[in-house]
């Protein structure tokens, strides 16, 4: 389990559109891909009706956040224009907000214009895989809108990131990346921030496992930490299976992430992640009962 003696006081809550997310216990973020080409085929949702069915299932299974994305960020993914991304996203945001008014909606985009349009339609959080690197207007937009921001580490773009895995000191470089980005965001009065170390983004399978094994290091920032391991290549490549067969491996690594201090699990399979959180939380409470 992670060392509780962190450098900064730990931030336990995020204000998402007036809905308070309390990370005293970890939460689940359900992945809703409005794409034809996301790496996990069963996650692809291309109609508003299908998105509503998936949203209802995820919320009933315990998702605290729905993360809606219309741009595939799988390695080697092709670019699509902002207009196409927005055209896929906005009808789904409207429909989910209308049917589930209490749901917390995160939008997986690196484009400031798409982020702004999504917030205007009722979204609550922006989840940016690029940490502001792919759109110089993103940080200014987040500061102006005053919405929570998920800050992820990545190098390059989805098309090039697989070739950018050389680090002199991976942990030092990622922490320096976060430190510089947080300074800019804080100067814009953005403080509701979640950190995502970016499993699978410009990192090899071995680097992803080392990152997971040292996940508690990111808790020293005092910010909630997201673990996005669900059905990724590190799992199915290591096990010699397909992404369709990677649920058990995902649950194993999600459990490790929780033991290492993860506050938010971003997953395709909400029920299983919710169960992992319940078991790990029960285990922690049980260990606190013992006194010698």
**Under CATH, to which class is 19-280 assigned?**
alpha beta
How many Å is the Cα radius of gyration of the chain?
A: 18
Residues pairing with 195 in the sheet: 151, 225
Helix (H) or strand (E) holding 30, with range, is: strand 27-33
Sort strands 13-16 and 19-22 into parallel, antiparallel or unpaired: antiparallel
Residue 54: both structure tokens together = 């998936």
Q: If you count them, how many residues does the chain have?
A: 292
Kindly list the catalytic residues. 232, 266
Query: Which of 112, 114, 263 is closest to 188 using CA atoms?
Result: 112
Query: Which of 63, 78, 152 is closest to 109 using CA atoms?
Result: 152
Domain ranges of the chain: 19-280
Q: Around 45, how many Cα atoms within 13 Å sit in the side-chain half-sphere? A: 21
Helices (H), the chain: 48-61, 82-99, 112-120, 138-145, 170-187, 205-213, 233-239, 247-259, 270-288
Q: Quote the pLDDT of residue 79.
A: 77
CB-based contact 265:58 (threshold 8 Å): no
Per-residue pLDDT of the chain (292 residues; tens, 9 = 90+): 444 444 457 888 999 989 899 999 999 999 999 987 555 456 567 789 999 999 999 999 999 999 999 987 766 556 789 999 999 999 999 999 999 999 999 999 999 999 999 999 999 999 999 999 999 999 999 999 999 999 999 998 888 898 999 999 999 999 999 999 999 999 999 999 999 999 999 999 999 999 999 999 999 999 999 999 999 999 999 999 998 999 999 999 999 999 999 999 999 999 999 999 999 999 988 876 655 5
Q: Please give the Cα distance from 138 to 129 (Å, whole number).
A: 12
Instruction: Supply the DSSP string of 186-241, one letter for each residue.
Output: HHTT---EEEE--TTSS--HHHHHHHHHTGGGGGGGSS-BEE--TT-HHHHHHHT-
Q: Quote the pLDDT of residue 127.
A: 98
């Amino acid at each position: 389990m992670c060392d509780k003696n962190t450098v900064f006081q730990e931030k336990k809550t995020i204000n998402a559109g007036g809905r308070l997310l309390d990370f005293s216990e970890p939460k689940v973020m359900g992945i809703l891909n409005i794409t034809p080409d996301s790496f996990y085929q069963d996650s692809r949702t291309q109609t508003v009706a299908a998105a509503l069915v998936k949203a209802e299932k995820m919320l009933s299974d315990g998702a605290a956040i729905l993360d809606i994305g219309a741009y595939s960020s799988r390695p080697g993914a092709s670019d699509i224009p902002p207009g196409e991304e927005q055209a896929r996203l906005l009808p789904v945001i409207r429909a989910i907000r209308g049917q589930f008014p209490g749901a917390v909606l995160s939008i997986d985009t690196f484009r400031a214009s798409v982020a702004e349009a999504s917030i205007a339609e009722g979204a609550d959080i922006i989840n940016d895989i690029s940490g502001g690197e792919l759109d110089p207007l993103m940080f200014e937009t987040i500061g102006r809108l005053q919405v929570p921001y998920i800050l992820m580490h990545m190098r390059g773009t989805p098309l090039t990131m697989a070739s950018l895995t050389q680090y002199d000191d991976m942990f030092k470089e990622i922490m320096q990346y976060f430190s510089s980005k947080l300074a800019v965001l804080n100067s814009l009065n953005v403080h509701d921030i979640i950190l995502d170390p970016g499993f699978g983004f410009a990192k090899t399978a071995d680097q992803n496992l080392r990152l997971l094994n040292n996940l508690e290091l990111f808790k020293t920032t005092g910010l909630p930490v997201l673990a996005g391991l669900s059905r990724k290549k590190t799992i199915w490549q290591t096990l010699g299976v397909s992404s369709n067969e990677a649920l058990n491996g995902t649950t194993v690594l999600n459990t490790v992430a929780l033991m290492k201090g993860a506050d938010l699990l971003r997953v395709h399979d909400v029920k299983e992640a919710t169960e992992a959180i319940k078991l790990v939380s029960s285990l922690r409470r049980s260990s606190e009962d013992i006194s010698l």
